[in-house]
Structure 1
Amino acid sequence: MKIHPLITKTEDLAALCGRLAKSDFVAVDTEFMRENTYWPELCLVQIANTEEAAAVDPLADGLDMTPLFDLLTANEDVLKVFHAGGQDVEIIFNFTGRTPHPIFDTQIAMMAISQSEQIGYSNLVESWQGVTIDKGARFTDWSRRPLTERQIEYAIGDVTYLSKIFPKILKRLMKTGRGEWLDQEMEKLADPENYRNDPTEAWKRIKAPGRNPQVLGRLKAISEWRELEAQGKNIPRGRIARDETLADIASHPPRQQADLAKVRGLSQGWKDNEIGRRLMAAIAKAEPMPDDELPPRAPRGAPLGKEGALVADLLKLLLKIRAREIDVAARLLARSDELEMLAAGVRKNLAMLQGWRYDVFGRDALDLVEGKLAFAVENGKLKMTHVDDAKPQAPESPLPQSSVVDAED
């Protein structure tokens, strides 16, 4: 495979993208920094097919990234392959307003051909290539220039290995016939709605118990305020105020700005500074949340209670057994909260009761909660038995009563 020098000129990038556009797929990875900023800072993009690989420096003076972004987001003929690509896709969306498509994520794919829930890239390479990756450059400052040869070599390695591993994973998927299982998962990854940053929706990320319209209305208002403050300053939202602090303010709103000094998580300065005044203004403008915006009520039948919790535990056991039987990650079949909802009596809008998940797991899960499936031990192994299929058989010669030995004897 040909490894190009670090690309810093638009004409070199355009030429590379022109060649890659003729490929069936490209492996993509990014290096970025976001510890001190609201918006992740894109520092490097690595890309490869089966013949060549390169790292692109988006911080290079005068470099126009349009050829690369067009290849990733506008060319539907080339499959874009990532590993755990959620943050990579987010960054590309922030720059272009579009997401890479079509897309393939090897971490998600591994869930369909193994019991790996979230296999890391290093483990992926070791298991498929037998290579141990040098992690020395993993936590480097990718924004500093110039980049060292070791940094660039490490970064490009992420896509050179990925371009070799992807065809093997694809072949395994085709052999197992589970490729269609992943279509929906990949489309979710590429859905632009997952990456739109709407400040009015920021409150949904904060854990706030209850459905009180006044409390949630304040939470929505001050969450939007924090989001806009963080965006304007380009600093992490937690630097403005922590989630727990916002939830506390929403539940126990200060009556005047001086009371902000008493709020856990805020400094004394908030009692008379400008940001404190803006926070108080956001609280004052907050309105009760309309009924159609309130979070859904807990599913009917929840909380589960002791018996329901036991049923949920049985469902989790069933899930573990089925995942092991077919060598697939349990999380791909069902989530724990779905199992609890099923145990509580919910039957609608559960992914595991739809499509291939129903055929592979959901049907048996339903049978279990409806008393049609039982667990048994056979030859030291736990197995499932459908009650309808388990026909009692009379013994050939019943033992006389005197032959029955009491357990206490």
Structure 2
Amino acid sequence: MHIHPLITDSATLANLCARMSQADFVCIDTEFMRENTFWPELCLIQIADVNEAAAIDPLAPGLDMSPLLQLMVNNEDVLKVFHAGGQDLEIVYNLTGTTPHPLFDTQVAAMALGQGEQVGYSNLVDAWLGITVDKGARFTDWSRRPLDARQIEYAIGDVTHLAKIFPKMLERLRKTGRGAWLDQEMERLGDPKNYANDPEEAWRRIKVPSRKPDVLGRLKALARWREIEARGKDLPRGRIVKDETIADLAGHAPKRQADLAKVRGLSATWAQNDIGARLMAALEHAEPMSADELPSRDDRKPGMGKDGALVADLLKLLLKIRSKEIDVAARLLARTDDLDALAAGQREGLSILQGWRFEQFGRDALDLVEGRLAFAVVNGKLKMTRTEDIAV
């Protein structure tokens, strides 16, 4: 594989993208910094196909990134391969308003191949290629220039290794017949809605114990205000106000700005400064949350009694047994919320009752809940037994 020098000019990048637009797949990774900003600062992009690889410097003056972005979001003929690509997809979404498509995530694929819930990149490389990844540059400040040769080599390795692993993974998935299992997961991962930052929806990320419309109305107003403040200052949300302080203010709203001096998590200066005034204005304009926007009571969880909780525990035991039997990560088969919902009596809209998940796990889970399946100990081992087979 040919490794290019760091790309810093538009012509070289355009030529690279033109060649890669003819590839079956490209592997992509990014390096970014987000500790001190609201938006992640993109510092380096690595890309590889089976023939060539390069690192691209998005901070290079005058670099036109449009050919690369077009390749990622508008070329449906080239599969985009990531490993644990959620944050990479977020960056692409921030730049383009959409996400790469079609896409493939090797961490998700590893779950289907029995390699654990969230296998890290270095473990993936070791398992598939027998190569130990040098982790020495993991904590690089990627925004600092110039980058040295070791840093660039480390970064490009993330995609050159992936370009060798992906075809092997694809072949294994074909042999096991599990490729189709991943389609739904890849579509979910690539859904642009996952990466949108709508200030009107920011309140959903903050947990409060109350369902009172006035409390939730203040929570929504405060979360929206913080989102706008953080964006305007390009600071992390928690650098403005932490979640727990937002929740406390929503539940116990101060009457006057002077009362902000008594709020844990706020500086006493907020009692007099402009940002404190803007916080109070947000509270003053907050309206009780409307009935149609109120979150539904979490009836999906079996908190309705001890029996529901016990059934959920049995489903989790069944999941553990089945995932081990077919050598697939339990989280890919079923999520806890779906198990809780099934135990609580819900049948509609559950992924475990649809498609391959139903065939591999959901049918037995449903039979267990509805009394057609039971646990039994046979020769000292836990087994699943049809109830009609149990001697009375």
* TM-score, with length taken from structure 2: 0.98
- Equivalent residue of 2:101, what SS? coil
Contact 1:304 1:343 in 2 (8 A): no
Q: CA deviation at 1:263?
A: 0.9
Query: Is 2:328 the partner of 1:328?
Result: yes
* Whole-angstrom distance in 2 between the partners of 1:81 and 1:118: 16
Q: How far did residue 300 of structure 1 move?
A: 6.4
Instruction: List structure 1 runs of 4+ shifted beyond 3 angstroms.
Output: none
Please tell me the root mean square deviation across aligned C-alpha atoms, in Å: 1.2
Query: Residue 300 of structure 2 contacts residue 337 of structure 2 at CA under 8 Å; is this kept in 1?
Result: no
Unaligned residue ranges in structure 2 (runs of 5+): none
Provide the residue aligned with 2:385 in structure 1.
Answer: 385
SS at match of 1:261: helix
| Alpha-carbon shift at residue 278 of structure 1 (Å) | 0.2
Q: Which has the larger radius of gyration?
A: 1
Query: 2:244 matched to which residue of 1?
Result: 244
Residue in structure 2 matched with residue 149 of structure 1 by the alignment: 149
Per-residue CA deviations over 1:9-48 (Å, capped at 9, x if unaligned) read 0000001001111100000000000000000000000000
Report matched runs for 1:356-395 at 5 Å: 356-388=356-388, 390=389, 392=391
Deviations 1:184-217 (A, max 9, x none): 1111111111111111100000011232111001
Match for 2:43: what amino acid? Answer: C
What does 1:178-327 align with in structure 2 at a 5 Å threshold?
Answer: 178-299=178-299, 302-327=302-327
Q: Structure 1: 5+ residue runs without aligned partners?
A: 394-409
Percent of aligned positions that are identical: 70
Verify the 8 A CA contact 2:301 2:337 in the aligned structure 1.
Answer: no
Distance 2:343 2:213 in 1: 29
Residue-by-residue CA offset, 1:161-187 (whole Å, 9 max, x unaligned): 000000111111111111111111111
**What is the identity, as a one-letter code, of the residue corresponding to 1:124?**
L
Give yes or no for contact 2:122–2:132 (8 Å, CA) kept in 1: yes
Q: How does 1:349-360 map to 2 (within 5 A)?
A: 349-360=349-360
Aligned residue for 1:337? 337
Does the alignment pair 1:99 with 2:111?
no
* 1:250-297 alpha-carbon deviations (Å, 9 max, x no partner): 000000001111111101011000000000000000001111111111
CA distance in 2, matches of 1:138, 1:71: 27
CA deviation after TM superposition for structure 1 residue 96, in Å: 1.1
Q: CA deviation at 1:383?
A: 1.4
- Please report how far the alpha carbon of residue 313 of structure 1 lies from its aligned counterpart in structure 2 after TM superposition: 1.2
Deviation at 1:115? 4.7
Aligned residues between the structures: 392
Q: In the aligned structure 1, how far is the partner of 2:301 from the partner of 2:319? A: 21
CA separation in 2, counterparts of 1:270 and 1:53? 51
CA–CA separation in structure 2 for the residues paired with 1:301 and 1:14: 52
CA distance in 2, matches of 1:163, 1:301: 42
Q: Does 1:79 align with 2:57?
A: no
For residues 301 and 32 of structure 1, the distance between their equivalents in structure 2, rounded to whole angstroms, comes to: 38
